[in-house]
Structure 1
């Protein structure tokens, strides 16, 4: 009689133990992530209850059709090693790392390229001179040197431990060392995982295969619609004038450029064009600009577009104030109300005003300021918004929202735009905006330019006031090899010829920028159609060391240059397009080392051999920024015009070839101004250089019937004899 209850009790205990084994591991070892391959080499994983509002929903972009054409790849990680849990209402995510792995990305960083071992909170903000995750583009995407990428699609502040924490249950624990006796003891032991904490009860995660790191970045960019395709004039030269200039002063500025023979494609007007700023009315100040439409038309006839500075914070004196007030947040910025741009009602009121007052009279674009952060200026995290979205979510996506909906306004008017913005995030690659900030470290500018290629954004190392002619020239050199060639003279009123002793070199640089427009335009087309960043770090270049090593003993870098490439961050040289390696000098430098990837590289200006997979030391002088071309490089160039060619205008091109190799290059063409390319009205012309009978010969494919053809006469220049 007693045995049966005991047996029943044992059975019950067994059943409970079985249930425990079934359910408790999800708490101890993680909950299930459901994976689905949504495009070749792109997997989407979901777990828990992700937030309804995220970065991709804010950006509202569609994946590029090019994704479907990519090759199939294997999932690049061990799925069983990816752990997800929900603890105290927050999502914990853990992804594995191997010992020989370096990480890049985690947003627009200004001082660091290698991100392994770093701790960050990805938080939209101005750059505060510390790479702590608070930056203009806190993109929750990283790429591994092993050839894969990871993106967490969340509009929340994400805590990242990028290989910095060590779990006691790690399968690959670091070696335990005694500091008293072991000279190799390390304060930061090896960590085998990236760990993230997301303040949400679920996640949406994307994994991108390579096989190379650049391929993972391409897939990430294509998921957001591909990179931006600026109008041709956007790749010309721009000057931002003093904040209180009048229409007549702006015209005089443009005339001075023309008379002195300096290229100029668009001028930026700073806050004084509005009746009031900080907060803004978005309405023309008629005392400075009595006839806005006539002014914009006159400037256009001079070949110069107009770009307007603004921020989105609405003045009580703005005509749209009462209409937009119900769709604004609880807190103000500079006493201006903050439109909840996640709501269609707010977007319509604001951008209808922009369209009527600006775009319809021919304004070409905007510089959208102060949407990034700096807590004492922007709304606090205790703010509420009528959409019900949190202050945090609005903060993380505000840069995306202003880009998306201003871009759509230009699309409705069939006018391409190219502008400036202070903040962006994942999902914004296809928006034609370049990030800038108020920091003015030249070295940081170049590091940011490199990191922009890992983050799916564009960044410009603008020129502002300089103390010396040397500094002015060195800064000018780098903007001519960046996404936007800009002088930002809103405060200083400086001009390219401000330092007469370097004015000829400045003019030659500006002319070079214009001459290279066919190359720049084609490289941006590759960004749009293929997702390839036009400016990117050396670690993405074939033949450059990417495997992280630790070298305890000094190495002769002249004999083994790749030790330097793999053990330290290379922050002072970068790739510009398919073929060019740019190695800027900073004020006070007279010489520098350049690490050339494997293979032969040639001097851009002379065509002479510069080196073959080695570290070289150069002393270039002041006049030129050092640029090198890989063997077989093809660089299409045009005459040095004062303005970018208008739609339909034919331009002669000179095709340069460097080195000894046979090569090919895809030259892009469209009307340069409208969205006709989205309907297939564009063309690729194939340039080939082949050795025939001991000599190099060049050819270019014929223009297709019914496709754009803006190419006039073609000449060839074989730079390496």
Structure 2
């Protein structure tokens, strides 16, 4: 009798586990949500805290729901939830966590798990459970759990598009890993909420995701300058001398990073100034601000016994320790208040301009185990997936309360972070991997910097500097190496040229970030997010080039050279393309072999592209400071683009205090080009002169 009851229970449970069509409802323009089981209220988006920018989303192209009725399915059983979405033949999938070895995710199996990247797919600094399809849609699984994903690898007996049955004995085309027609997801929770973002293009899907998260991060203008992180135990005097050296060598410097040595003790941290190295923290921060150099402070969030914060935060800390320091549970509001009040007094209140949030990713052997208990009652894996995200929100709110923008660094983040002013970094150092990560990040609503630390040769040093100056943060991180931009004298002049080009590009880059903030367009993005990309080359070539070239703003294509390379292949999207530096015509869309005679990294501008440039300053312009503006136009097409400006430092732009000028190039009957600016706002568009430079014919 008992055996019969057991069989009935198993059969009943199996019957209840049959998948069902997900029932989607509209939640924003071009965005739909569906639930499977009972979704947990604590999720990635609930922590990130952004509000959808509905008006901006309404301005996107109309697009219908991307899946056939009933084709997206799910079930919940035994404390777990499963989702399945269709995957077409030839459909490429991007996203699903920050990638260093692959940008395309087809035929991968991964667990999206917050960790220091260590070559295991899915274990990464940004395990964002969001993917973008080449078919022009995106999907987010809004769960703070370790989400398991199978991308086109799971074969089902009820598949609508099964792979052909082959005989390995006779058929050379037999495959050990035939493709499947689905993406399958397992969430270790009793329910999950899933969002679908319409296109119609892959870029439109990403834009909807960014805007749904609250829009993109808007840096202060100085955040787009050059930054240098000093060796760990530098003193106040050494910091001042470092700034002097940058000025003496003619290198730009807008903010300087102080590493663990500013704490009186680190790993775990005290969050109190070391009075031997920094006897007058207020004075040194003020002196640097007087020179228009901001201070960014390193931290990891684990609190050292004996410091003032330890006693206050101990009641709100987890059951386990990290490096013998307590792990404050910042899902407890009292813990957040205690920590931010302390930082307000010790750092932000004296003029510190930002933070580098370290060690919130992994490794497992460093951080808490999944058996740890937290006062909020949340599971250890939920805290692991969102700890860096929560800290970013706290730091952002701390600065916003003072009406000051910030620009910082973080080692771990997740879905919904697009609005938060932090850039991801890590401790690996493959240049090629760093570029793949830069491309990968653009699908996820996060930012990544391919930071420069050290090099074996002057050539490698130059190549790394070239790429970092076209990234969200132009950073030299010398915390361990002690390097400076001029550490390789044989390339010092060329490195200076690159660093000053970064400063010249500020009007262009600032506008690119405004497009991110207001319209959801990633400022640096992978090639599948660029118009005309799908129209050139074959699939294999596109999949290769998607890993090592990227777009910046609305007109510039960057094709990095790595150490040892004097030429490379580049795949240009549809249209005519010109050399950024000379204006020489490179050719039309397709594969091109380029070998720059001057050794510069290949940079291209599309037909009709306009690049507004400022002067080669050593500091970002002050609010209201006029600059000499040069506007470069490429090709022989009439064109129009916008140029953004605001005060560069406060949140007044959110209150409507910003301006969009129109840059316009006209052609007369003889093909001569003339340029003009319309709709300038004199409060923000302040130029001592405007020069138009017409390149390419």
Question: TM (normalized to structure 2)?
Answer: 0.96
* Structure 2 partner of 1:365: 354
- Measure the CA separation in 2 of the matches of 1:602 and 1:469: 28
Give unmatched runs, 5+ long, in structure 1. Answer: 1-22, 547-559
- Measure the CA separation in 1 of the matches of 2:419 and 2:411: 16
Alignment of 1:127 onto 2:117: yes
- Measure the CA separation in 2 of the matches of 1:408 and 1:103: 34
Taking the TM superposition and a 5 Å limit, the aligned residue runs for 1:693-708 are 693-694=669-670, 695-704=672-681, 707-708=683-684
- Measure the CA separation in 2 of the matches of 1:333 and 1:68: 46
Shift of 1:89: 1.5
Number of equivalenced pairs = 684
* Structure 2 partner of 1:229: 218
1:603–1:628 Cα contact (<8 Å) kept? yes
- Measure the CA separation in 2 of the matches of 1:301 and 1:24: 69
- Measure the CA separation in 2 of the matches of 1:605 and 1:135: 36
Shift of 1:661: 1.5
- Measure the CA separation in 2 of the matches of 1:455 and 1:88: 30
* Structure 1 partner of 2:92: 102
- Measure the CA separation in 2 of the matches of 1:427 and 1:507: 36
Question: Which deviations, in whole Å up to 9, do the C-alpha atoms of 1:657-692 show, x marking residues without a partner?
Answer: 001111111100100000101101011111111212
2:104–2:543 Cα contact (<8 Å) kept? no
* Structure 1 partner of 2:8: none
Taking the TM superposition and a 5 Å limit, the aligned residue runs for 1:450-461 are 450-461=439-450
Question: Which deviations, in whole Å up to 9, do the C-alpha atoms of 1:622-657 show, x marking residues without a partner?
Answer: 742110001000000010000000111111210100
2:506–2:614 Cα contact (<8 Å) kept? yes
* Structure 2 partner of 1:3: none
Taking the TM superposition and a 5 Å limit, the aligned residue runs for 1:472-551 are 472-545=461-534
- Measure the CA separation in 2 of the matches of 1:91 and 1:430: 29
- Measure the CA separation in 1 of the matches of 2:519 and 2:228: 31
Distance 1:562 1:712, change over 3 A: farther
Question: Which deviations, in whole Å up to 9, do the C-alpha atoms of 1:178-208 show, x marking residues without a partner?
Answer: 1111111111112000000001111111000
Distance 1:384 1:563, change over 3 A: closer
2:21–2:71 Cα contact (<8 Å) kept? no
Distance 1:656 1:178, change over 3 A: same
Q: Secondary structure at the match of 2:318?
A: strand
2:93–2:106 Cα contact (<8 Å) kept? yes
- Measure the CA separation in 2 of the matches of 1:476 and 1:50: 45
Shift of 1:113: 1.2
Distance 1:423 1:502, change over 3 A: same
* Structure 2 partner of 1:279: 268
1:645 alignment partner, one of 614, 621, 629: 621
Give unmatched runs, 5+ long, in structure 2. Answer: 1-11
1:31–1:47 Cα contact (<8 Å) kept? no
Q: Secondary structure at the match of 1:521?
A: helix
* Structure 1 partner of 2:9: none
Question: Which deviations, in whole Å up to 9, do the C-alpha atoms of 1:328-381 show, x marking residues without a partner?
Answer: 111111111011111111111111111111011110000110001100001111
* Structure 2 partner of 1:212: 201
* Structure 2 partner of 1:602: 578
Distance 1:139 1:492, change over 3 A: same
Shift of 1:77: 0.7
1:114 alignment partner, one of 90, 104, 118: 104
Q: Secondary structure at the match of 1:674?
A: coil
Question: TM (normalized to structure 1)?
Answer: 0.93
Shift of 1:28: 6.2
1:59–1:428 Cα contact (<8 Å) kept? yes
Distance 1:219 1:434, change over 3 A: same
Q: Secondary structure at the match of 1:206?
A: strand
Shift of 1:24: 10
1:383–1:391 Cα contact (<8 Å) kept? yes
Give the CA RMSD over aligned residues: 1.5
* Structure 2 partner of 1:5: none
- Measure the CA separation in 1 of the matches of 2:163 and 2:61: 37
* Structure 2 partner of 1:148: 137
**Structure with greater Cα Rg:** 1
Q: Secondary structure at the match of 1:429?
A: helix
Q: Secondary structure at the match of 1:502?
A: helix
Alignment of 1:635 onto 2:627: no
Question: Which deviations, in whole Å up to 9, do the C-alpha atoms of 1:381-407 show, x marking residues without a partner?
Answer: 110100000000000001110100100
* Structure 2 partner of 1:582: 558
Alignment of 1:713 onto 2:675: no
Shift of 1:26: 7.4
Distance 1:586 1:402, change over 3 A: same
Shift of 1:259: 1.4
Question: Which deviations, in whole Å up to 9, do the C-alpha atoms of 1:501-557 show, x marking residues without a partner?
Answer: 1000010001100000000000000011111111111111111127xxxxxxxxxxx
Question: Which deviations, in whole Å up to 9, do the C-alpha atoms of 1:460-508 show, x marking residues without a partner?
Answer: 0000011111111111111011010000000111101111110000100
2:660–2:679 Cα contact (<8 Å) kept? no
Alignment of 1:616 onto 2:592: yes
Shift of 1:25: 11
Question: Which deviations, in whole Å up to 9, do the C-alpha atoms of 1:13-32 show, x marking residues without a partner?
Answer: xxxxxxxxxx9997464235
Q: Secondary structure at the match of 2:570?
A: strand
- Measure the CA separation in 1 of the matches of 2:132 and 2:546: 16
* Structure 2 partner of 1:292: 281
Taking the TM superposition and a 5 Å limit, the aligned residue runs for 1:674-689 are 674-689=650-665
- Measure the CA separation in 1 of the matches of 2:313 and 2:334: 8
Alignment of 1:63 onto 2:52: yes
1:79 alignment partner, one of 69, 87, 104: 69
2:660–2:681 Cα contact (<8 Å) kept? no
1:88 alignment partner, one of 43, 57, 78: 78
Shift of 1:621: 5.0
Q: Secondary structure at the match of 2:132?
A: strand
Q: Which region of structure 1 is more displaced relative to structure 2, 527-536 or 689-698?
A: 689-698
